Amino acid sequence: MKISDSGEFGFIDRIRKKLIPHGVNVIKGIGDDCAVFRSSKEQLRLLTTDMLVENVHFRLDWMNPHPMGRKSLAVNLSDIAAMGGRPSAALISLGVPAETDLDFLDSFYDGLKSMASEFDVSLAGGDTVRSPHGLVICVAVDGEVSESEILYRSGARPGDLVFLTGMVGSAAAFLDLENHNREYEWQAELRKYHLDPRPHIKEGRIIAESKLASAMIDVSDGVAADLGHICRESNVGAVVESEKIPTDPALLEYCHQFDLDESEFALHGGEDYVLLGTVAEDKAASLESALVSAGCAFHAIGVTDMQGGIKLKSADGRITEIDSSGYDHFKRR
């Protein structure tokens, strides 16, 4: 059997059974946004890594090295944010084609450094090897959070409100626009979502410190897939109201002009890097005010239930089951 038969998630399930973590200090191995270790009586350490591959995650004709440096750190910081953590240090490993210009790499590191200094992260090392086919970027980040504040994917309870800390769909719409070589007046608006996502560390900290939320994840694979992760890990289902999903006017106008369905981008697009969480209904107003008073956003988009699966309620009240399987690197589409 090949990995293209099992798919990415089938493969991860397979190794999840084999890689049962050893040692009393391991609190969470595979299955959340970060691995979690105990560092002291109250403090936990978070570890996460993400890899970006040329022509899979980025194309050099669409993206300059400076924003690539920023984004390759940002996507990892987003996983720390998803658990309510504070990032501390990063390691950067590169597979580099031999003909790569040093100026290109300098600019990539300038981008990395600018993101690192915004979030007070030390760039502490890494590894460099030759790559025969395209650039490969692998970043690992560690962070910390107290045990009383950490948020897992598995804490949602039936009846919780589902919320987002920002708008979704635009990064995927930008890729769609580029893939179809479309001319669009607000292209630059969409591009910034794809090029320069802001990790929601501030939001994650406010939510964690408030101790009001029940589960959290960052939206890397789309609202449907990532809410699917929370639902599976928490043994709940959810109903999302399409009208309530926050989207940028530039995305709505793009869909209007080219006769596309904005909820496709909003639910299945991905690379949004906002936070998706759940909160008990009677705590939602307090959480909203903690976020909004700090200049952050809180959008309630639905509610969890005991039925399992994810459903979409459209403006006319129709309820349909939606696919939460998410983007799989190996499944044939």
When asked if residue 26 is in the footprint of ligand ADP (CB under 6 A), the reply is: no
| 70 contacts: CB under 8 Å, gap ≥ 6 | 111, 112, 114, 115, 196
Given the complex with ligand ADP, which of 274 and 303 has the nearer CB atom?
A: 274
Site for ligand ADP in 30-59 (CB under 6 A): 30-33, 50
When asked if residue 15 is in the footprint of ligand ADP (CB under 6 A), the reply is: yes
When asked if residue 20 is in the footprint of ligand ADP (CB under 6 A), the reply is: no
- List phi, psi (to 5°) of 286: -65, -40
Q: Which residues are near Mg ion by CB under 5 A?
A: 33, 79, 218, 220
Report the distance separating Cα 235 and Cα 143, nearest Å.
Answer: 28
Residue 272 binds which entry of ligand ADP, Mg ion, none, with Cβ cut-offs from 5 to 8 Å by kind? Answer: none
CB of 47 to Mg ion, least distance (A): 13
Report the distance separating Cα 141 and Cα 85, nearest Å.
Answer: 11
Report the distance separating Cα 27 and Cα 25, nearest Å.
Answer: 6
When asked if residue 220 is in the footprint of ligand ADP (CB under 6 A), the reply is: yes
CB of 12 to ligand ADP, least distance (A): 4
Other CB atoms within 10 A of residue 282 CB:
10
Query: CA 131 from chain center: how many Å?
Result: 27
When asked if residue 294 is in the footprint of ligand ADP (CB under 6 A), the reply is: no
Given the complex with Mg ion, which of 51 and 96 has the nearer CB atom?
A: 51
- Residue of closest CB approach to Mg ion: 33
- List phi, psi (to 5°) of 269: -70, -65
CB of 220 to ligand ADP, least distance (A): 5
Question: How many positions of this chain bind ligand ADP (CB under 6 A)?
Answer: 9
Given the complex with Mg ion, which of 29 and 159 has the nearer CB atom?
A: 29
Check if the beta carbon of residue 312 is closer than 8 Å to that of residue 263: yes
CB of 194 to Mg ion, least distance (A): 17
Report the distance separating Cα 127 and Cα 94, nearest Å.
Answer: 6
x/- binding map, residues 79-118, to ligand ADP, per CB under 6 A?
x---------------------------------------
Report the distance separating Cα 145 and Cα 88, nearest Å.
Answer: 11
Report, in angstroms and rounded to the nearest whole number, the Rg of the chain calculated over CA atoms.
20
DSSP 8-state code for residue 182? -
Q: Which residue bears the tokens 């560690």? A: 142
Binding-site member from 12, 285, 306, 319 for ligand ADP (CB under 6 A): 12
Report the distance separating Cα 222 and Cα 274, nearest Å.
Answer: 10
When asked if residue 149 is in the footprint of ligand ADP (CB under 6 A), the reply is: no
Contacting range for ligand ADP; rule: CB under 6 A; set: 26-34, 90-98, 110-118, 253-261? 26-34
- List phi, psi (to 5°) of 75: -65, -30
Given the complex with ligand ADP, which of 143 and 262 has the nearer CB atom?
A: 143
Q: Where do contacts with ligand ADP occur on this chain (CB under 6 A)?
A: 12, 15, 30-33, 50, 79, 220
